[in-house]
Amino acid sequence: MAIESAEKAGPKRYQRARQGISTRQRVTEGAIEWALFLAGASSIAITVGVLSVLIYESAGFFAHVSVWEFLTGTQWFPQFDPPKFGILPLICGTLVTTAVALSVAIPVGTIIAIYLSEYAPHRLRNILKPVLELLSAVPTVVYGFFALSFVTPFLQLFIPGLPGFNMLGPGLVMGVMIIPYVSSLSEDAMHAVPMTMREGSYGMGATKMQTAWRVVFPSALSGITAAYILGISRALGETMIVALAAGLEPTLTMDPRQPAATITAYIVQVSGGDLPHGSIGYQSIFAAGLVLLLMTLVFNVWGYRLRKRYREIY
């Protein structure tokens, strides 16, 4: 019955199609195409805009401070007279907090992803995943306050002499914040591994754990790498937690128990009005921003190449 009525309706529809596309449709199509193009182009325009502002303002900064001094100096004291602009302490603070965060987020995130993808019953997975993603919906200022007023005092119970401001506490909290980024994307990647892969492994007599680690994980490696890289970028760029709880003290140290300032925290500090607008100190935040941008760029490019290398072929 359904087919008969469809046949009756058929010729009419074809008649309309044969008459060609109406002018109104043509205009709408053209407008949509333009709108889509503009949307795509805007992202490029914004990136170029941000980059040019950064470079322009940094140029003003580098007119006063040599690039060599900036990149190799071990002291960062913009308020001093004469000011010292050695970015290394800030880079160091950024890398240490990032490392602490990743040491939490990558193992925990990966294990969660494996559990959700390989072990959890379907219904549990559908509940747990969104709940986990809520972790990233918590405002970072809340996390920062949590690091400062709960995690650090808690850590002080175990690490005697731990200063109230340190990199460990905010680093750990940042790690918790990043877990959902790592676990959610990794889980997506593992879930997308075709069942035939798993069956191949189970068919050899492998256990669930062996299948998950030796077959599913490497099969999903490209997606998992992407998840890790996103986590790294997120940690490098995280501002509020470290600004609140890490101490805003540019110290060149690899010891996470020490207070330090990250690039982002410094930018916040200066933007908040610590240094007069237009001064070299103020311009230094653009140079610092440029360094941060380059760092995340390096990680993104690296991630892109890894992704290409471990591209899934199934």
Q: Which residues bind other proteins (CB under 8 A)?
A: 2-3, 194, 196-207, 210, 214-215, 218-219, 221, 310, 312-314
**C-alpha to C-alpha distances, 58 to 53, 64, 306, nearest whole angstrom:** 8, 10, 31
Q: Closest distance between other proteins and the C-beta of residue 204, in Å?
A: 5
DSSP for 23-48? HHHHHHHHHHHHHHHHHHHHHHHHHH
Nearer to other proteins, 88 or 197 (CB): 197
* CA pair distance 314, 309, nearest whole angstrom: 14
Nearer to other proteins, 6 or 41 (CB): 6
C-alpha count within 13 angstroms, C-beta hemisphere, residue 212: 17
* CA pair distance 43, 87, nearest whole angstrom: 29
Nearer to other proteins, 208 or 257 (CB): 208
Nearer to other proteins, 114 or 151 (CB): 114
Q: Closest distance between other proteins and the C-beta of residue 60, in Å?
A: 50
Nearer to other proteins, 69 or 312 (CB): 312
Q: Closest distance between other proteins and the C-beta of residue 305, in Å?
A: 17
Lookup: tokens for 48: 């170029």
Q: Closest distance between other proteins and the C-beta of residue 215, in Å?
A: 5
Neighbour count for residue 107 (Cβ, 10 Å):
13
**C-alpha to C-alpha distances, 265 to 27, 71, 81, nearest whole angstrom:** 50, 18, 22
Q: Closest distance between other proteins and the C-beta of residue 116, in Å?
A: 17
C-alpha count within 13 angstroms, C-beta hemisphere, residue 121: 2
